[in-house]
């Protein structure tokens, strides 16, 4: 898979983000050769965003398509969650990711009670979604906001998600990642398809051990992506437990 490294000095975190629908995904034209004519190759390699952020003819595909969502702050107690949650844009290439990331408001500049959600396309960042309702999430709260570079941490987690490094190829657990901006803390979470519960049927015993081991492996990789210390605890809880408790923070099922 292609490197997810940034294409370079291309207007990272601009003061005035441009409308997302104006972002060039695959610009026309390209780099000109010695004869002054458009060239699709540089030193024998196809022109990509890594050669020229503004003119390229090759996109590096991701293994999955991803969708960015945004939850705007509630204006009052009567606000409906579905009205606050907005689908922003979907993408399926390295170039599109950087084009979007470089033109949206950084997490550190979002208003209180805002969220960014980056989920596999087709999965809504809601407990009720059919692909989430039996799942849960790993989460960690950064309580000392002044000492945390939330933009770098959130970027690192997003890259780990779309780069498919949080799980192995056949795990099929990671649904998406989310960052919550609150008055007293930042929280980054990773949503999974299951909670490590036993599978039904003849493979039930193997399913219980396998699912739990897979979730713990993902949790450890998530903790590494967060760059937290060995003494910090990252917790996993089920969405159903959180719904029953009436809070996003339910009793931890696993910790790493």
Three-class SS string for 6-54?
CCCCCCCCCCCCCCHHHCCCCCCCCEECCCCCEECEECCEECCCCCCCC
| pTM confidence score | 0.77
Task: Write phi, then psi, for 242 (nearest 5 degrees).
Answer: -65, -40
Q: Residue 218: which of 156, 175, 186 has the closest Cα?
A: 175
- Beta-carbon contacts of 165 under 8 Å, excluding residues fewer than 6 positions away, are 221, 225
**pLDDT of 9:** 34
Give the relative orientation of helices 204-226 and 150-162 as an angle to the nearest 10 degrees.
140
Query: Please, what's the largest Cα pairwise distance for the chain?
Result: 69
Domain boundaries, the chain: 19-58, 61-255
**pLDDT of 22:** 42
List the chain pLDDT tens, one digit each, 256 residues: 445 654 433 333 333 444 444 433 334 444 445 555 445 566 666 666 566 666 666 678 899 999 999 999 988 777 777 789 999 999 999 888 988 998 899 999 999 999 999 999 999 999 999 999 999 999 999 999 989 999 999 999 999 999 999 999 999 999 999 999 999 999 999 999 999 865 544 444 334 445 899 999 999 999 999 999 999 999 999 998 866 655 555 678 899 9
Give the relative orientation of helices 94-101 and 150-162 as an angle to the nearest 10 degrees.
160
- Name the 3-class secondary structure at 208: helix
CB-based contact 70:116 (threshold 8 Å): yes
Helices (H) and strands (E) in the chain, counts: 5, 12
Which is the CATH superfamily of the domain at 61-255?
RNA Cap, Translation Initiation Factor Eif4e (3.30.760.10)
Helix (H) or strand (E) holding 159: helix 150-162
Which residues does residue 236 pair with via DSSP β-bridges, in sequence order? Answer: 138, 254
Question: DSSP code of 248?
Answer: S
**pLDDT of 79:** 72
**pLDDT of 251:** 76
- Beta-carbon contacts of 203 under 8 Å, excluding residues fewer than 6 positions away, are none
Concatenating the DSSP letter of every residue in 50-110 gives TT-SSS-S---EEEEEEEEEEEPPPSSTT--HHHHEEEEEEEEEHHHHHHHHTTS--GGGS
């Amino acid at each position: 898979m292609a490197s997810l490294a940034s294409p370079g000095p291309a207007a990272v975190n601009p003061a005035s983000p441009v409308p997302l629908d104006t972002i060039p995904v695959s610009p026309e034209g390209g780099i000109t050769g010695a004869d002054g004519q458009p060239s699709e190759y540089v030193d024998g390699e196809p022109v990509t965003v890594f050669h020229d952020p503004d003119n390229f003819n090759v996109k590096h595909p991701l293994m999955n398509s991803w969708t960015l969502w945004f939850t705007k702050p509630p204006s009052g107690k009567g606000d409906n969650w579905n009205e606050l949650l907005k689908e922003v844009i979907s993408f399926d290439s390295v170039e599109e990711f950087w084009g979007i990331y470089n033109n949206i408001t950084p997490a550190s500049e979002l208003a209180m009670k805002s969220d960014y959600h980056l989920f596999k396309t087709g999965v809504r960042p809601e407990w009720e979604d059919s692909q989430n309702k039996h799942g849960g999430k790993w989460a960690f709260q950064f309580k000392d906001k002044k000492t945390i570079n939330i933009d770098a941490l959130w970027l690192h987690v997003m890259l780990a998600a779309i780069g498919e490094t949080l799980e192995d190829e056949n795990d099929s657990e990671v649904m998406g990642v989310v960052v919550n901006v609150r008055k007293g803390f930042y929280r980054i979470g990773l949503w999974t398809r299951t909670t490590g519960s036993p599978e039904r049927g003849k493979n039930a015993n193997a399913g219980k051990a396998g699912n739990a081991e897979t979730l713990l492996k993902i949790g450890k990789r998530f903790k590494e992506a967060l760059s937290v210390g060995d003494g910090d605890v990252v917790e996993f809880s089920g969405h159903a437990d959180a719904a029953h408790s009436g809070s996003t923070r339910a009793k931890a099922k696993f910790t790493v």
